[in-house]
Amino acid sequence: MIMDIKDFTEMIKRKRDRLDSMMRRKMPVMVGRMAKDHFQDNFRQGGFVNGGLHPWPKAKRLSSGGSDAASNYGTLLSGRKHLFKSVGYTPADYRVRVFNEVVYAPINNWGGEIDVTVTDRMRRFAWAKFYKASGKRKKTGTGQKKRVKRRSKPKELNPQAQFWRNMALTQKKKLHIRIPQRQFMGESEELNRRIREKVDQEITNILNQ
């Protein structure tokens, strides 16, 4: 097949236009999807993947011995999976924004220290969490006389129940809490490599057509 200069120029222009369209519209969507999948997979693996898996510090509830459902969810996971599901992306021309706008996402991702004001509502919440974690029943004022039982040795509380009990009973007005880093978003060698491979593949497909 003989191609003259005019045909060759037209072919190069078509390739260039397709390459530009790919980088402007297609790749931001594909890269956003890849990043979201990668960051959400960190939750499943229980750590951040960047040059290998870097496991997160385990949540205390996982070793608390609690029998409730919350004690069995993975670190940073819950029944609602709010943090996990809030990883998202917004594509634009030649770029994509990957985000998690949950208010407590940054402190979990980077770690740090926070001061928490202890309110009556927080104490009620702590008591509710205590009863759930310990398996104890909340006392109710029925007004009925109960049979007097011989006092037995108090049952030792699991660490999670003890944490919530201490919070409910504290006399402090503020609590200083340290949150360990459990990074789930950020720069990743593995993700960057897959993105480069995908871009190379898309460019090769256009040039070979």
3-state per-residue secondary structure call for 132-189: HHHCCCCCCCCCCCCCCCCCCCCCCCCHHHHHHHHHHHCCCCEEEEEECCCCCCCCCH
Whole-angstrom Cα distance, residue 185 to residue 49?
Answer: 9
Q: Categorize the per-residue pLDDT at 61 as very low, low, confident or very high, splitting at 50, 70 and 90.
A: low
pLDDT at 3 exceeding the cut of 80: no
Does the pLDDT at position 206 exceed 70?
A: yes
- Tell me what the pLDDT averaged over the chain comes to: 83
pLDDT of residue 151 exceeding 50: no
* pLDDT given for residue 64 in this prediction: 47
Of 115, 40, 112, 32, nearest to 83 by C-alpha is 40
Contact indicator for 182, 57 with CB cutoff of 8 Å: yes
Listed range (65-69, 87-91, 190-194) with the worst mean pLDDT = 65-69
As a whole-number percent, the residues of the chain with pLDDT over 70 amount to: 79
* Residue partners of 82: CB distance under 8 A and separation at least 6: 102
Lowest mean pLDDT among 12-16, 117-121, 149-153: 149-153
pLDDT band at 153; cut points 50, 70, 90: very low
Task: Pick the more confident residue, 119 or 3.
Answer: 119
Q: Which residue has the higher pLDDT, 59 or 167?
A: 167
Position 145 confidence tier, pLDDT thresholds 50, 70, 90: very low
| Whole-Å CA distances, 40 to 84, 90, 154 | 6, 16, 42
Per-residue pLDDT of 72-129, as tens digits, reads 556 676 656 889 999 999 999 999 999 999 998 999 999 999 888 888 898 898 888 8
Residue 152's pLDDT band (boundaries 50, 70, 90)?
very low
Neighbouring-strand partners of residue 100: 87
pLDDT band at 200 (very low <50, low <70, confident <90, very high): very high
Mean predicted confidence (pLDDT) in 53-58: 92
| Gap between the Cα atoms of 74 and 12, Å rounded | 52
Using a 10 angstrom Cβ sphere, with 0-12 exposed, 13-18 middle and 19 or more buried, the burial of residue 16 is: exposed
Tell me which of 4 and 89 has the higher pLDDT.
Answer: 89
150 CA to centre of own chain: 48
Tokens 């931001």 locate to 28
